A and B are shown apart, each in its own frame.
Chain A
Amino acid sequence: MTTHMNTIKHHLTDALLMGYSAGNLPEGFNLVVATHISLCDECRARMHEFDAVGGAIVGDVVPADMSDDSLAATLRMIELPDQAVTKSRPMTQRGTFPAPLQEYVGGDLGAVNWRKVGGGVRQAILSTDKSASVRLLHIPAGAAVPDHGHRGIELTLVLQGAFHDETDRFAKGDIEVATEDLNHQPIAEMGEDCICLAATDAPLRFNSLIPRLLQPFLRI
């Protein structure tokens, strides 16, 4: 995977990296974090730092007694033929999507099962546990996603193209971490369709009675 350390401007927050390292994030957030880290060496380095904190904690915990035959039992376990625990990750072709995302999609961009949501925007919901919802968004160049807020947190990672909203511009590899304070309307830049991976830990809240996803979007 080509890395983009010199061009990525918007990175993961410490709270997300710590939550990922500690293993406390919803599965959908873990997917966005792992996909961003696949594209961003800086955040990969920070992830290793947070893992090191976990290592220091395990190294320093008050030990709990193991049963008397535990070492013998473990040695018997390692005699057994290799089991699923060491299965290596399937090889993925390099493409638009980094490996962790390809594993959820079942392939690269071409394998996505898109559904139209109006205004030329398409989405594909990815299957994760219920603690967060995660989807791919395909926004035609120049089109807008309806103005919306969130009760929880929304993570949006750009995989192709770029968008901008009230806060800034987000290009390939950039991640926007939007809290409930932000009502925003992402608009894809002209030139290239924008593909994003987005996750929320609470339902989106659209700023009109009829969800504007059902309405045709204005081209700008």
Chain B
Amino acid sequence: MPPVTKPDRLAWVDQIIAIRDHQDRAAFGEVFTHFAPRVKAFLMKSGAAPDMAEEVAQDVMATLWRKAHLFDPTKASVSTWVFTIARNRRIDVLRKQRRPEPEDLTWGPEPEPDQADVLALQQESAKLGQALAALPEKQRHLIERAYFGELTHSEIAEETGLPLGTIKSRIRMAIDRLRHQMK
């Protein structure tokens, strides 16, 4: 049998589900090997020293293990979910700031997510990544600077070169999808 290559569009979702349902250490190892070095790089770009970035990256991955039951593949790709955990740890550890989070959407017991919704979101996320990669260097660099924490709110507001329309049109978080619990 040829080696099974995982389609990009469902990248890492199965591993997170294996962690969630079976505390699967092999799946965790795969996720760790891919994401921990990226989280470390993200934290270093955000101003953390290498030792600190290493420590926080490990902590982010441990959080991913512990919070696997909260991952919702209809709302986020695994990359996006890892980003939100890393960002929150950065605010907590590096900025020593509290981060208020929106109230959870709670509409009763949560059924299994709709597979069509999962696929659509994961595909859109992949397209968003491609769109970002295809941007002119200057525009791409601006967006990265914003997410590495280098641009203040005023700088973002005044920056006319941010191609927000281009990148955002690649992902359309339907309100229906947010509310899939209601179905």
Q: B133 contacts A23, CB within 8 Å?
A: no
| Nearest A residue to B145, CB-CB | A22
Q: Which of A68-121 contact B (CB under 8 A)?
A: 70-71, 73-75, 77-78, 82, 85-86, 89, 98-101, 103-104
| A21 and B86 alpha carbons, distance in the complex (Å) | 12
Number of interface residues of A (CB under 8 A): 71
A160 to chain B, nearest CB (A): 17
Taken together as a complex, chains A and B put the C-alpha atoms of A21 and B124 apart, in Å, by 18
**Interface pair B90/A23, CB less than 8 Å apart:** yes
How far, in angstroms, from A201 to B155 measured CA to CA in the complex? Answer: 14
Known A31-B100, A61-B42, A153-B154; judge A54-B66 contact (CB<8 A).
no
Q: In the assembled complex, which residues on chain A have CB atoms less than 8 Å from the CB atom of B90?
A: 23
- With A31-B100, A65-B37 as given contacts, are A85 and B62 in contact (CB-CB < 8 Å)? yes
Residue of A nearest to B86 (CB): A58
State which size class the interface on B falls in. 35 or more
Q: Is the CB of A71 within 8 A of B156?
A: no
- Complex Cα distance A152/B112, Å? 46
8 A Cβ contacts from A104-144 to B: 104, 128-129
Task: Say whether B83 contacts A60, CB under 8 Å.
Answer: no
Tell me, yes or no, whether A30 is within 8 Å of chain B by CB. Answer: yes
B79 at the binding interface (Cβ < 8 Å): yes
- Bitwise interface map of B from 123 to 160 toward A, beta carbon under 8 Å scored 1, else 0: 01100110011000000000110110101111011000
> Assuming A41-B179, A52-B80, A55-B81, is B103 touching A1 (CB within 8 A)?
yes
Question: Given the complex, which residues of A lie within 8 Å of B37, measured CB to CB?
Answer: 63-66
- In the complex, the answer to whether A24 meets B149 with C-beta atoms within 8 Å is yes
Chain B residues with Cβ under 8 A from A49's Cβ? Answer: 168, 171-173
User: What are 17 A-B interface contacts by the 8 Å CB criterion?
Assistant: A18-B156, A23-B99, A27-B98, A31-B100, A38-B102, A48-B80, A50-B168, A52-B125, A52-B128, A53-B132, A56-B132, A57-B144, A59-B38, A66-B54, A75-B25, A99-B104, A101-B100
Binding site for B on A (CB under 8 A): 1, 5, 13-16, 18-19, 21-27, 29-31, 33-35, 37-38, 41-42, 44-67, 70-71, 73-75, 77-78, 82, 85-86, 89, 98-101, 103-104, 128-129, 152-153, 201
